[in-house]
Amino acid sequence: MEDSTAHNIAVGVVITVVGGLITAAILAGLSQCGPSHTTTGQSTQPQTSSAPLPPTLTPTSATPAPTTPNSAEPRSTYLSDMYATQSNYDPVPGQASINGQVHPQSIEFQVYYVANPVNEVSYNLGRDWRHFAATAGVTDDSTSGAELRFQIFIDGQEIYDRTLTYGESNPVTLNVTGVLRLTFKVSLLNKEDGTYIGAMGDAHLSN
């Protein structure tokens, strides 16, 4: 009877030990196979390419090229296209032949021995021109031997004085910068009747 009891106790101890070993083994296996829930603190965002980015250009305001004031375009006009502001005998615009040369854009000044020996004509320049040019002379259809005195004034000041006879001509160039009024005076020097015409051939203003 005692032997049977001892045998049963030994068997129970063995079963208890074996059960503990099996339980430990099962727990050890679960700890190795289970998912790890430990966080490392690393970012979970997707990694981007490590290739260097192109340099960013900073916009700058465009510097305008230096400019110069626009100068007025070159202009010119013939006196034959202008109206005289003052005259004692109206000038005649048109073609004039002087010393054998034809000048299509001219002004003629007629003078007469008795009625009108002096012809004075003025033009308003408006201080808008710089140069005056013309060919002065007695027209070819005047009386042979005609002799005329040509005078030019700018704002009342004489700047040209020349006596020309039939068959003569003289180029005239004047600086008229800032001039308000340009005046021509043609005087007859002959002492007998005839046809006497002085002219400014192709008289024109420019700037």
Mind listing the domains of the chain with CATH numbers? 76-206 (2.60.120.1060)
pLDDT higher than 80, residue 142 = yes
List the Cα angle 149/157/92 in 5-degree steps. Answer: 50
The predicted pLDDT at position 73 comes to 73
Residue with tokens 């000048």: 103
**86-104 pLDDT tens trace:** 998 999 999 999 999 999 9
Q: For residues 44 and 85, is the Cβ–Cβ distance under 8 A?
A: no
Q: Going by C-beta distance under 8 Å and a sequence separation of 6 or more, which residues neighbour residue 110?
A: 89, 92, 116, 119, 196, 197
Spatial separation of the C-alpha atoms in residues 196 and 146, rounded to whole Å: 6
**pLDDT class of 33 with cuts at 50, 70, 90:** very low
* Tens-place pLDDT, residues 52-90: 555 555 555 555 554 444 445 779 999 999 999 999 899
- Which is it for the CA torsion 94, 95, 98, 102, positive or negative? positive
pLDDT score for 184: 98
